[in-house]
Amino acid sequence: MQVGEVVEKNFLRPIDNTSVVQQVIDRLTYAMIYKELRPGDKLPTEMELAASFGVGRNSIREAIKILVSFGVLDIRRPEGTFVASGFSDKMINPLLYGIILDQSDSIDSLKELREWVDLGIVELAMEKAEPEDLFQLKEQLGKLLTEIDGGDAEQVFRADDEFHEAISTAAHNSLLGQIAKLVRTLTSEMRMSTIRNMLNLGKGRELKKAHEDLFDIIKRKNDDSARQLLVDGYFYKYNILRK
């Protein structure tokens, strides 16, 4: 199938009238999962989809609008609507909101998620980091250490985020990097509390050493100490998540 070719596959069979917009979304989603629609494929027109599904054009239009907001579909005027090619930051938003609104979530769940993702990123960075990655990571480390000396919690927070983004880059896995960014967003309040309270406690030296040690294990590929270093580097023992 050529990129941009209109497809006529199994997903175009009619659907019933219950939760029509969601069913259209589900039908298009499953078509992508089962490769009936592939990145770059052009969708049939709204009129053609409405006729194939047996639903109104307004339902088709609303479903497409939602999938565009998720970064899954791409409207190119005047050519038409296409399946997106590649990962978009917008794709992470539904997952982000789903986790935020999950009432069963807890601080312990976020702490465990943070540890699991951070460890995976660090392990991949140890395995895949190129000399240029280590150079960039060291540059970000230097900026972070300078900001810690400056004592401004917000500036330290931003520098810390850039440091961890550099670790994600060194891991050379774009999907895991997006997940890591999501986790940093979800734990932003937790991380800001950590930084602010560590500075207030006069623990700037400990904050600096944790990041220096993290850079060192990535550079030296010292896998044995990675997990414990990460856990120690969250500084939970100082009760830094208190309000």
- CATH number for position 14: 1.10.10.10
111 and 80, same structural domain?
A: no
183 and 140, same structural domain?
A: yes
Taking alpha carbons only, the member of 135, 129, 99 closest to residue 114 is: 99
Specify the pLDDT at position 166: 97
Q: Which residue, 66, 86, 106, sits at the end of a domain?
A: 86
Specify the pLDDT at position 87: 72
Specify the pLDDT at position 3: 47
Specify the pLDDT at position 1: 45
Query: Alpha-carbon distance 232 to 12, whole Å?
Result: 54
98 and 36, same structural domain?
A: no
**Per-block average pLDDT, block size 10, for the chain (243 residues)?**
52 69 93 92 95 93 93 92 83 67 69 90 95 97 97 96 96 89 86 92 95 94 82 81 59
Residue numbers of the domain that contains 74: 10-86
158 and 74, same structural domain?
A: no
- The CA-atom distances, in angstroms, between 30 and each of 9, 10, 24, 146 are 12, 11, 10, 49
